[in-house]
Structure 1
Amino acid sequence: MTGDETSLRARADAQGGVVLTAQALAGGWTRGRLSRFLTAEGWTRIRPGAWLVPGREAGWAELLWTHQLLRPELVVSHWSAAMLHGVEAGPPGEHPAAVPDFICPGSAAVKGATLHRLPLAPGEVTVVAGLRVTTVARTMADLLRAGPRDEALVAVDSALSWRHGRGSGPPGSRGRPLTTLDDIGRALTRAPSLRGAGTAAWWLAMADPRSGSPAETLARLRMNDAGLHPETQVMLVVPATGRRVYPDFLFRPQGLAVETEGYTWHGTRAQHQRDVIRFNDLAACREVRRILRFTSADVRHRPAMMIRDIRDALA
């Protein structure tokens, strides 16, 4: 019996572009013929015993497939799971998931990946894009336990709100929350003795499902750290038109609205037009006497300047 090229490619396509040498041999290939075929067709060896179809780069998803195929007991977790669920975790190119994360209690080390030896209940595992992954609630609980705070809360706010969907999460998931505060809280209480559980519960209390972007989440945390506690995403009505507008932050007694720009640049005329209309609507609201706007770079890299400007405007 000889291996079939079409079946081999089909199997790889069903596994994120990855196929194992062991799978090919079980399918009837001989080692010599398989080696000649893979070399001639330009397949890439990702790891010993794992090959990637021609024309595809070994990105984070392909690495997850490779590790899980080689070690089926591994469950994708932490930042890798967050990416699979489509959770928004920061500006493009700055996602924390530089190294694949997996949970497997008691397993040996995994070369090229981070292994978390944590307890895992059957109900805390789901399947996303063919991979075994921790559920959204368990993923958020793990991020909160592990920290750092700001990155974890950016992810939690995304999972709780409408803004997620940049990753490869379930089809149709964009526009509705992936989980709830109660579900994350229950995931935390299932293992209250785990390191970081107490701090995680404290941080979870800082989450806000109304947050509209990572920059907004970070700005809220920066203000809270500075003792500033504005209303978030409060509904205001434009007197002349009756349109509703939701400022990112409102210091109502002082009439100060604070707006943060997300990571996506307003690069089209339509987006720019919507931005101008929103600004004018906000300025026309009776509750607003002044508006401050900050970029995502201000929030991330110049928070002291942002806080100083807000304090000056409130004085």
Structure 2
Amino acid sequence: MYELVTLARGGVLLTVWALAAGWPRGRLDGRLRADGWQRICRGAWAVPGKEVDWRVRAGAVQLLRPDLVCSHHTAAALHRIELLTAGPQPGQPPTPLHFTTRGSGSSPGWIRVHRTSALTDRDCSVRRGLRVTSPARTVADLIRAAATREAAVVVADSALSRRFVAGLRRDPLVDREQLAAELASPHRPGGPQARRRLPLAHPGSGSPAETVARLRMRDAGLHPEIQPTLHTPTGHPLHPDFYFRAAGLAVEIEGFAFHGTRQAHERDIHRFNTLQTCPSIHRVLRFTAREVFTHPDRMTRTIREALDALGGR
């Protein structure tokens, strides 16, 4: 019989591999537990001392079920696509783990399996060692499944934009044409509504809070420029989140949780102070992410009052 650790792949051992190598089933479980192996799920173990995070669990599931492809919320975390949720964001453990398959069969009860006949090799890629739906397919799946307009547009904005996610800069993952092509099928559930929501997406958005603020302003009949280029007296370019040019009013959306790191938050505070030196700026309003999500009417009312006060300028 081979030593169990030599049978593991990436720190994960499947029971079927040990049995195939000659380990008797009656001895196997006792040996694994005695040696400190960690049970990931039925049929899969992690080597002693290995951190069993959500990526290890997802990898074990794929070893057990090679037909399962990480998708939806799990794929979003792998691609660093932000979601409108109070739960985990990219880089944090998504719960439950989501997979898509064209096959059938049993799977662990703590995962969610989406079954479809529309899954090709073109829809899949490899990310951090896991098979995962492509960025375009992931965004399309999430938009189709989104319960609200805000949730759908947040996902689209995140994938379309260049931004910091969990403290790391990330380039755009898709373009609008790719998303439109992914949503073009007339037979996929949620498709018509998803196609109506896609035109609301904007690649200039820098965070989920900015997306929601833009949508709420649109509902209130307010249509600012998004991330325009302004200049300080020294010629340094700045890009306020929103800008009402006729009134010289800039609107900034702040929030430590959505900027990802304390350093990013401090950088935005410095940007706010510098923004006020721009000759074309007469006033700057700032709103926290919490205000945007919990008191959007108060935000739009404050903006409208500021526009009225600046109207003669």
Q: Shorter chain as normaliser: what TM range? A: 0.7 to 0.9
Q: 1:276 to 1:76 in 2, by over 3 A?
A: closer
- Mapped to 2, the partners of 1:113 and 1:220 lie a distance apart of 34
- Mapped to 2, the partners of 1:19 and 1:266 lie a distance apart of 36
Alignment match of 1:24 (pick from 18, 41, 49): 18
- For 1:132, give the aligned amino acid: R
Give % identity.
Answer: 47
Alignment match of 2:244 (pick from 239, 244, 251): 251
- CA shift for structure 1 position 23: 1.9
Alignment match of 1:303 (pick from 291, 296, 299): 296
- CA shift for structure 1 position 82: 0.9
Q: 1:278 to 1:41 in 2, by over 3 A?
A: same
Question: For residue 282 of structure 1, what is the aligned residue in structure 2?
Answer: 275
Alignment match of 1:198 (pick from 192, 199, 202): 192
- For 2:188, give the aligned amino acid: L
Question: For residue 87 of structure 1, what is the aligned residue in structure 2?
Answer: 81
Q: Normalising by the residue count of structure 2, what TM-score does the alignment of the two structures yield?
A: 0.86
- Mapped to 1, the partners of 2:66 and 2:273 lie a distance apart of 55
Work out whether residues 126 and 133 of structure 1, in 8 Å CA contact, stay in contact via their aligned partners in 2: yes
- For 2:139, give the aligned amino acid: M
- CA shift for structure 1 position 258: 0.5
Q: 1:306 to 1:184 in 2, by over 3 A?
A: same
- CA shift for structure 1 position 113: 2.0
- Mapped to 2, the partners of 1:222 and 1:24 lie a distance apart of 57
Matched, 1:132 2:131: yes
- For 1:135, give the aligned amino acid: S
Question: For residue 311 of structure 2, what is the aligned residue in structure 1?
Answer: none
- Mapped to 2, the partners of 1:42 and 1:294 lie a distance apart of 51
Q: 1:202-213 maps to which residues of 2 (within 5 A)?
A: 202-213=196-207
- Mapped to 2, the partners of 1:49 and 1:84 lie a distance apart of 24
- CA shift for structure 1 position 56: 4.2
Question: Which segment drifts farther, 279-288 or 53-62?
Answer: 53-62
Is there any run of 5+ residues in structure 2 with no aligned partner, and where?
309-313
Work out whether residues 84 and 150 of structure 2, in 8 Å CA contact, stay in contact via their aligned partners in 1: no
Q: Normalising by the residue count of structure 1, what TM-score does the alignment of the two structures yield?
A: 0.85
- CA shift for structure 1 position 90: 5.2
- CA shift for structure 1 position 288: 1.6
Work out whether residues 87 and 166 of structure 1, in 8 Å CA contact, stay in contact via their aligned partners in 2: no
Alignment match of 2:172 (pick from 177, 182, 190): 177
Q: 1:94 to 1:126 in 2, by over 3 A?
A: closer
- Mapped to 1, the partners of 2:96 and 2:14 lie a distance apart of 21
- CA shift for structure 1 position 99: 1.2
- Mapped to 2, the partners of 1:109 and 1:153 lie a distance apart of 34
How many equivalent residue pairs?
A: 300
Is there any run of 5+ residues in structure 1 with no aligned partner, and where?
168-172
Question: For residue 160 of structure 1, what is the aligned residue in structure 2?
Answer: 160
Q: 1:152 to 1:43 in 2, by over 3 A?
A: farther
Q: 1:271 to 1:260 in 2, by over 3 A?
A: closer
Three-state SS of the structure 2 residue aligned to 1:253 is: coil
- CA shift for structure 1 position 257: 0.7
Q: 1:235 to 1:77 in 2, by over 3 A?
A: same
Work out whether residues 217 and 300 of structure 2, in 8 Å CA contact, stay in contact via their aligned partners in 1: yes
Work out whether residues 166 and 261 of structure 2, in 8 Å CA contact, stay in contact via their aligned partners in 1: no
Matched, 1:151 2:161: no
- CA shift for structure 1 position 276: 4.5
- CA shift for structure 1 position 277: 3.7
Question: Which segment drifts farther, 70-79 or 301-310?
Answer: 301-310
- CA shift for structure 1 position 304: 2.2
- Mapped to 2, the partners of 1:108 and 1:5 lie a distance apart of 27
Work out whether residues 166 and 260 of structure 2, in 8 Å CA contact, stay in contact via their aligned partners in 1: no
Question: For residue 187 of structure 1, what is the aligned residue in structure 2?
Answer: 182
- CA shift for structure 1 position 83: 0.8
Deviations 1:106-129 (A, max 9, x none): 524642222222211221111112
Question: What's the C-alpha RMSD, in Å, of the aligned pairs?
Answer: 2.6
- CA shift for structure 1 position 251: 1.2
- Mapped to 1, the partners of 2:221 and 2:49 lie a distance apart of 52
Three-state SS of the structure 1 residue aligned to 2:75 is: helix
- Mapped to 2, the partners of 1:276 and 1:67 lie a distance apart of 44
- For 1:49, give the aligned amino acid: G
- CA shift for structure 1 position 247: 0.3
- CA shift for structure 1 position 300: 1.8
